[in-house]
Amino acid sequence: MFDNKDTTNINQLGEFGLIDLITKSVVLKEASSLKGIGDDAAVLDFKNEKTLISTDLLLEGIHFDLRYVPLKHLGYKAVQVNLSDIYAMNALASQITFSIGVSSKFPIEAVEELYVGALLACDKFGVDLIGGDTSASAQGLVISVTSIGHAKAADIVYRNGASEGDLICVSGDLGGAYVGLQLLEREKMIFLENPEIQPDLEGKDYIIERQLKPEARKDIVDLLRDLKIKPTSMIDVSDGLASELLHICNQSERGCKLYEEKIPIDPMTYDTAREFNLDPTVCALSGGEDYELLFSIKQADYEKIKNVPEITVIGHITEKNSGKELISKSGQVHPLTAQGWNAFRG
């Protein structure tokens, strides 16, 4: 993909040289990509389908810590978390733009590692990298990804379509990314206190991967189409289950009942949370970065999904005045509150 093996100062190439280096490794595969990198703008053709666009900004020190996040993993994650927003609309992603602000402390080889990860994600999810921008940064590494997707108007799912009686479903399991982050942060602090001590991550591969290399759930979008199910509402779990479910309820003007015992939590997530004296349910409700799909379906579709291992029914939608409630394992009723990621919380 990239041929450089030495350490090359980014100033030796300059911005245009860096763009040329990146461009040589980009191959367009999507039929809708008529023109990619190399002109003033990309040209796309989706024919009779609607176009969906989403953008994410990732800042060093806010969204990632390069002391334990490999650049290849970061490039991969930056792409897939953005694609997740397209899949959360029940659409297919087909293109991205990938822009970076980078300081001169990064050699060319480090930038290449970032793009290797991004292009691996593009290849896995079947999208083209069609453009972007590069700039110098005085505030650490900055990444901006814009994803572009398409779908027929009738297939697009919004957050505001849930109705009373709909079943609340989620893909995969929750809380692993947050618990993985706690593990990485603990090992970072130990290393900073004593650099001679190596990280102790043995046996924790799953939750570490959930944090460093999460996977957008395009497979769930494909599965729902195969099952001929169109969700009534959908969102991806980036800020925690509670926050996302409240978004659906508020925009649909409905209430909900969420059952704690139904929330899917992997055994490794559960056990490691307990090691940190954390409540595994709280990790699932408020941890975020799982990038699973949370959606509602009509009760009539239950028979189609009841034996699908990757989908769990965790509650149901109620009328607005019933409130938004969490039913604990002991049967107690609690108001569902959002305590997940808030970019501007002090």
Residue by residue, DSSP assigns 224-255 as HHHTT---SEEEE-SS-HHHHHHHHHHHHT-E
The span from the CA of 295 to the CA of 125, in Å, is: 21
The answer to whether residues 43 and 177 belong to one domain is no
The span from the CA of 274 to the CA of 210, in Å, is 18
Asked whether residue 151 falls in the same domain as residue 231, the answer is no
Same domain assignment for residues 197 and 296: yes
**CA–CA separation, 88 vs 82, rounded Å?**
10
Cα separation, 274 vs 11, whole angstroms: 48
From first to last of the 346 residues of the chain, give the pLDDT tens digit: 555 556 666 565 555 555 565 566 667 888 888 877 776 777 888 899 999 999 999 999 999 999 999 999 999 999 999 999 999 999 999 999 999 999 888 888 999 999 999 999 999 999 999 999 888 888 789 999 999 999 999 999 999 999 999 999 999 999 999 999 999 999 999 888 888 787 778 889 999 999 999 999 999 999 999 999 999 999 999 999 999 999 999 999 999 999 999 999 999 999 999 999 999 999 999 999 999 999 999 999 999 999 999 999 999 999 999 999 999 999 999 999 987 545 444 4
Same domain, 223 and 113: no
| Residue 226 belongs to some domain of the structure | yes
- CATH number for 82: 3.30.1330.10
Whether 49 and 106 share a structural domain: yes
Q: Which residue has the tokens 């297939």?
A: 155
Q: Are residues 192 and 286 in the same domain?
A: yes
pLDDT at site 19 = 58
Q: What is the pLDDT of residue 206?
A: 97
Same domain, 151 and 206: no
Cβ burial 139-150 (10 Å sphere, 16+ → b, else e): ebbbbbbbbbbb
Closest CA to 177 of 207, 203, 215, 199: 207
- pLDDT given at position 286: 95
pLDDT at residue 69, rounded to an integer: 96
What residues have CB less than 8 Å from 345, skipping those under 6 apart? none
Task: Look at residue 162 and tell me if it is in a domain.
Answer: no
In this structure, is residue 345 part of a structural domain?
Answer: no
Among the listed residues 259, 234, 257, the one whose alpha carbon sits nearest the alpha carbon of residue 247: 234
**Which pLDDT value is given to residue 346?**
43
Distances (CA, A) of 112 to 29, 37, 132: 21, 17, 15
What pLDDT score was predicted for residue 138? 85
Whether residue 272 is contained in a domain is answered as yes
Q: Do 79 and 120 share a domain, yes or no?
A: yes
311 domain-assigned: yes
Which of 155, 185, 215 lies at the terminal end of a domain, its last residue?
Answer: 155
Check residue 343 and give its pLDDT. 47
What pLDDT was estimated at residue 24?
65
Provide the CATH number for the domain around residue 287. Answer: 3.90.650.10
Indicate whether 79 belongs to any domain.
Answer: yes
172, 201: one domain: yes
Question: What is the 8-class DSSP label of residue 346?
Answer: -
Q: Which of 120, 155, 190 is the last residue of a domain?
A: 155
Question: Does 221 map to a domain?
Answer: yes
Distance CA(298)–CA(137), nearest Å, equals 49
* 238 located within any domain: yes
pLDDT of residue 3: 55
Instruction: Count the domains in the chain.
Output: 2
Distance of CA 157 to the CA centre of its chain: 18
Last residue of a domain, one of 98, 124, 155: 155
User: 36-57: buried (b, 16+ CB within 10 Å) or exposed (e) per residue?
Assistant: bbeeeebebeeeebeebebebe
Length of the chain measured in residues: 346
pLDDT at 22: 58
Please give the residue range of the domain that contains residue 304: 167-335
Q: Please tell me whether residues 55 and 150 are part of one structural domain.
A: yes
- Indicate whether 151 and 18 sit together in one domain: yes
Q: 200 and 130, same structural domain?
A: no
- Residue matched to tokens 């079943």: 167
CA distances from 139 to 11, 59, 105, 146, 287 (A): 17, 9, 11, 21, 27
